Amino acid sequence: WGFLLEKARSARDAYLLSLWGIAAHLLLTFDLIFTPFKYVDYREAATAADLAEAQATELAKQLKEEREKVAALRMSNMAMLLMSNMAMMLMPLVVYIALARLTTKTSGYWALLSHSYDEYIQAKICDKFKSQILGEAKIEKKTWTNANIKKLREEETKRNPDGGIDEGRLPSVVTRRLFSGRTMASHGPSKLHGRAFYQSLGSPKLILAPMVDRSEIAWRLLTRSYLEEEAQSRSLLAYTPMFHGRLFGEHVSVRDEHFQPTRGSLVSKEKSDEPAWLDGNPDIDRPLFVQFCANKPDELLEAAQYVAPYCDAVDLNLGCPQGIARSGRYGSFLQDDWETIYALINKLHTELSVPVTAKMRILDTRERTLEYAKMILSAGASILAVHGRRREQKSHNTGVADWSIIKYLRDNLPPETVLFANGNILNFDDIDVCIAETGVDGVMSAEGNLSNPAIFAGPPTDLESREYWRGKDGKDGYRLDGVFRRYLDIIYRHILEQTPPERPPLYLPGDEVVTEYYETSALEGSVSQSRKNKRTASPSLRVMQGHLFSLLRHIVSTHPEIRDALSRTTVGNMAAFEKVLRMLEAAIKQALDEQAANLSKDASESTENKSPDQELREKYKRPWWVCQPFIRPLPPTACERAPKQLNKTPQNDPSVPPGRDQSRHDCGLINEAAREQVLACG
């Protein structure tokens, strides 16, 4: 039994072998009990007939010998039966020991038998791993002295009083420093899991969601830039855009176009000796999770191994609801195939050097959603992000995310489970509300971040900051022109590696006007263009126009000249984007002057017709020059507007860049050339 179970390829094989063995044993027992008696009856009847007919003494002698043989056979079978029953009594112990040994290869089965998987991992792996960290910390005693470590631990305890920080655990900033530049593979198969892994990241409560063609490196840097400098690397966890697992693993060109950890091509699964550059750079882009969509475990592992040296975890997309995901059989359209999902996650959990996480949507009932979440966690997911909408909630039927189901998961999953909530986060204040109502560990924002990349940051401590508008009615927020400037500066410094052009301070009423700055006619020759080279097609350059349409979505209908100028921008043409910026700044300057002179309408007054969503819109509305969320119409209102929207071309929809299909805008592919390949993927 031990040999058979050890050779089993999976926990399921081991379980089926156990059932088969027990059934075979019962059949054997039945045969051993009844066969001797049937044999005796048959021989006795035959021999009696022969004696009556032949009256042969020799036959009587043979009958006696046969009876002796049957008696011996009966005794032998009874002994075998006794031994077999003893083995049957020991069988549960044998199966238990064999499954315990199998746990190292099929740990998900262990999780199905017990909810104490995290405790098992922490007891068997984390203690050993922690000792390795402590040993390396002693080696780096020049940098991390005991006094410094104690001070850092005290600071982390103040930041996270409920995080369960103990004296035996190093501060997260130390563990990240020790791990930077290496993968977990250098320590063998052992790796942190679950809450232990989450705490090693600093227990971040703010999460930038994975967004196709939207959560690229420049946008991640922009979002991080609004947090306090010393908190940027510990309080915000960011995801990359979703990458297609098969295409990413097969084509070096796809990897180079979408993930650039170094300046060289990503051709090796081992960490490169080249200096860190953009994606996953420990100095500017951590913590970082890389998300993939896939439906075949081997293809997912192949892709994940390329990014493992440059990220903290790999995430599986189980939430994309778009039609392209249905065609490719990934995202939320895998949620009906639990066996495949289990295989995908468990493959990474058992064979990848970094932890695996998953992002899912809720199902039709909370009970079914709970079972779904348990299955994902049992496969080996360290963190579970839950979008509070169902697969059908998209486009005109998006509606509101259901936080009550996320709360139900929090209440019914083990306390050590790390949960993130996604949905209904429209401004900074919603983050604390979500945590209070759901009890999750962190809050994720996607669409809210696109319209306000400073959504994770409160008001700046500098009261003189010109980037932040402080209204008299409490309608505060970051100015559009300030966000636009900061975004372009990040593109200049990190992507193009150029010095940003000099600009005057953001305008406030009463400032001296620099007339020449608002003249755009001579701008084309004053701003250098991106240099054409092998890696000019940076993902950060390709999506600039789309990001700015999302940022300016609420004003393009009232400022068509800005919309038209933005629609004419091309990839890498920084002069064109500078022109749009100056047009925006000129419009904001005029609006601020009018408000100062009491010539404009009250900032809180709406120019739109009232609708059933008016109360929600009033809550989040700000002056038009301030970042504000896009409020999706609730389903009844959206359905009324749908026929009109269907008659619009993509160019007439101000939220979608010209020439770009709406479904591609919301959940596009990783590149334009791969569209047909993804449609055909199985």
Report the catalytic residues. 320
Rounded distance between C-alpha atoms, residue 603 and residue 610, angstroms? 16
Q: Report CA-CA distances (Å) from 658 to 74, 650, 662.
A: 89, 6, 10
Amino acid at 24: A
Given a contact cutoff of 8 angstroms between Cβ atoms, the answer to whether 588 and 480 are in contact is yes
| Beta strand pairing call for 236-244 and 206-208 | parallel
| Closest CA relative to residue 450, chosen from 350, 550, 351 | 550
In 3D space, the residue among 316, 337, 314 whose CA is nearest the CA of residue 326 turns out to be 337
CA angle, residues 454, 618, 601, in degrees to nearest 5? 95
Burial class (CB in 10 A: 0-12, 13-18, 19+), 187: middle
What's the half-sphere exposure (Cβ side, CA atoms, 13 Å) at 491?
A: 28
Longest dimension (CA), the chain: 138
Length of the chain: 682
Separation CA 114–CA 120 (nearest Å): 10
Crossing angle of the two packed helices 338-351 and 297-307, in degrees rounded to 10: 40
Asked if residue 638 lies in contact with residue 400, where contact means CB atoms within 8 angstroms, the answer is: no
CA dihedral 507, 511, 516, 518 (to 10 degrees): 30
Instruction: Please list, residue by residue across 556-588, b when 16 or more beta carbons sit within 10 angstroms of its beta carbon and e when fewer do.
Output: beeeeebbebbbebeebbbbbbbbbbbbbbbbb
Could you tell me which of 386, 380, 389 has the C-alpha nearest to residue 410?
386
Q: What is the DSSP string of 439-463?
A: --SEEEESHHHHH-TTTT----S-T
Count Cα neighbours of 29 within 13 Å in the Cβ-side half-sphere. 14
In whole angstroms, give the CA distance from residue 512 to residue 515: 9
Identify the burial level of 452 via C-beta atoms within 10 angstroms of its C-beta, where 0-12 means exposed, 13-18 middle and 19 or more buried: buried
Alpha-helical segments (H) within 140-236? 146-159, 172-179, 194-200, 217-225, 232-235
Instruction: Give the Cα separation of 137 and 149 in Å (integer).
Output: 9
Euclidean distance between CA atoms 455 and 445, whole angstroms:
8
Integer Cα distance of 317 and 619 in angstroms = 32
Measure the CA–CA gap between 353 and 312, rounded to whole angstroms: 10
Owner of token pair 């998953």? 358
Q: Please give the structure tokens belonging to residue 591.
A: 């609006």
> How far is the C-alpha of 599 from the C-alpha of 587, rounded, in Å?
15
End-to-end CA distance of the chain: 38
Using CA atoms, how far apart are residues 441 and 419, in angstroms rounded to an integer?
6
Strand partners, 23: none
| Structure token pair of residue 555 | 């004003």
